[in-house]
Amino acid sequence: MKAFVDTNVYIDFIGNRAAFAEDAKKLCVAAYFGDLELWISTQTIADADYICRKPGDRELLRSKMAASLEIFHVCGTHAFDCEQALTNGWPDIEDYLIAASAKRIKADAIITRDSRGFTKARVPVYSPTELLDHLQTDLGLEYGEIDV
């Protein structure tokens, strides 16, 4: 399954956001095992760098983001996407660009914690929890910590 990850979920992973990081990490485990193909946009990288950066840890953050590229594929936007984002009536330009990129790579899903921003998307939208539930229920795949 090919899934396009919204910026908020990528930031959950990179920033280790306490309330949301666990599901984001499970998605990355699914990708590591080849059960998911995760994609992000070039803008997501820039946004994560800006949002997660703290004084004195730029090198650590960028190292972590660089390492994440072993799990996440990256898709750029085109000038046409930007033109459409400005004129199509979507309330949030970033959400439009994520949806356009997801459509371009023929994604099976968009993963976001803000499904309201994607009501016009032509790609099915899941929260991280919903997608993990789908993988478990429909495919028998479960991701979690184990004692070793």
pLDDT tens digits for range 55-106: 778 899 999 999 999 999 999 888 999 999 999 888 899 999 999 999 999 9
Alpha-carbon dihedral sign for residues 111, 116, 121, 125: positive
Angle, vertex CA 89, rays to CA 115 and CA 39, nearest 5: 45
pLDDT band with cut points at 50, 70 and 90 for residue 130: very high
Cα distances from 73 to residues 48, 55, 85, 97, 133, in angstroms, run 15, 28, 22, 16, 23
Which two tokens mark 37?
Answer: 């193909």
The arithmetic mean of pLDDT across residues 8-26, rounded, is 94
- pLDDT confidence bin for 147, thresholds 50/70/90: low
What is 2-139's CATH topology? Rossmann fold (3.40.50)
Q: What residues does each domain of the chain span?
A: 2-139
| pTM reported for the whole predicted model | 0.91
- The sign one gets for the Cα dihedral 97, 103, 107, 108 is positive
